[in-house]
Amino acid sequence: MNDLNHSRSAGGDFEMNGFSDEELAAAAAAGDPEAFDQLISRTAPILLRFVRRMVDDAQVAEDIAQETLLAVWRGLPDFAFRSRVRTWILGIAHRKVVDHYRRHRDYPTDGQDFESLASAEPLPSDQAERAELVVALRAELTQLPPTSRAVWWLREVEGLSLAEISGVLGISNGSVRGHLQRSRAFLTTRLAPWRPGAGGPAAPEEVGISGERRRE
């Protein structure tokens, strides 16, 4: 916070890009709206992507994202920095998603059987282009139990660590690992007919939502 004030008093254009999320959060908690705006500009993209993957209705997803940002603003003074700011924000978003489905009484259970999911109508066996693989991936993600879907997305697309995902979803590292393994196995089976190029099936954990192979 003192560093931020010093940067302002030094004159010239005030740039916040050099400060960490945690420093911005501390300043925002003290009532600095500019620091909050900068923090949100950094975290909003991952927040929106995550909520839109968890909620099919685009307008509902936007509303949940807005509710999350409001909760972040209100909760910053009590944020104890026991986790990274990004993890804390995604955790709020996850709880908002769960609350939404509970209100509508249509939140699927995590006990849903993977074998029954895999026995759905077979996928087309013809060769598919990369764009079709991405469409298929998005469709199959909706078939996963919600926690498994969240784990896969946060790990394979957003690149969070297992510990960070554990903090977001409020489950153990072992549970995160189990959900990730089952999700990868399910998606690998379901996406097997999609063989981009001559290199064989693209493993779902290697394919981001844009269709590009994921880099480790």
Specify the CATH architecture of the domain 114-206. Orthogonal Bundle (1.10)
- Pick one of 1.10.150.20, 1.10.260.40, 1.10.1740.10, 2.60.40.10 as the CATH number of 15-104: 1.10.1740.10
pLDDT score at 131 = 65
Give residue for tokens 């603003």: 73
Give residue for tokens 């026991």: 82
pLDDT score at 180 = 94
The span from the CA of 168 to the CA of 90, in Å, is 6
pLDDT score at 193 = 73
Q: Divide the 216 residues of the chain into consecutive groups of 10 and give the mean pLDDT of each group.
A: 46 60 90 90 90 88 92 89 88 91 64 41 43 75 89 90 93 94 89 56 46 41
pLDDT score at 56 = 82
pLDDT score at 138 = 81
Domain ranges (residues) in the chain: 15-104, 114-206
Comparing 15-104 with 114-206, is the CATH topology the same?
A: no
Phi, psi of 74 (to 5 degrees): -70, -30
- Residue 47 burial by CB count (10 A; 0-12/13-18/19+): exposed, middle or buried? buried
pLDDT score at 69 = 92
The span from the CA of 29 to the CA of 18, in Å, is 18
The span from the CA of 184 to the CA of 178, in Å, is 10
pLDDT score at 183 = 92
pLDDT score at 204 = 47
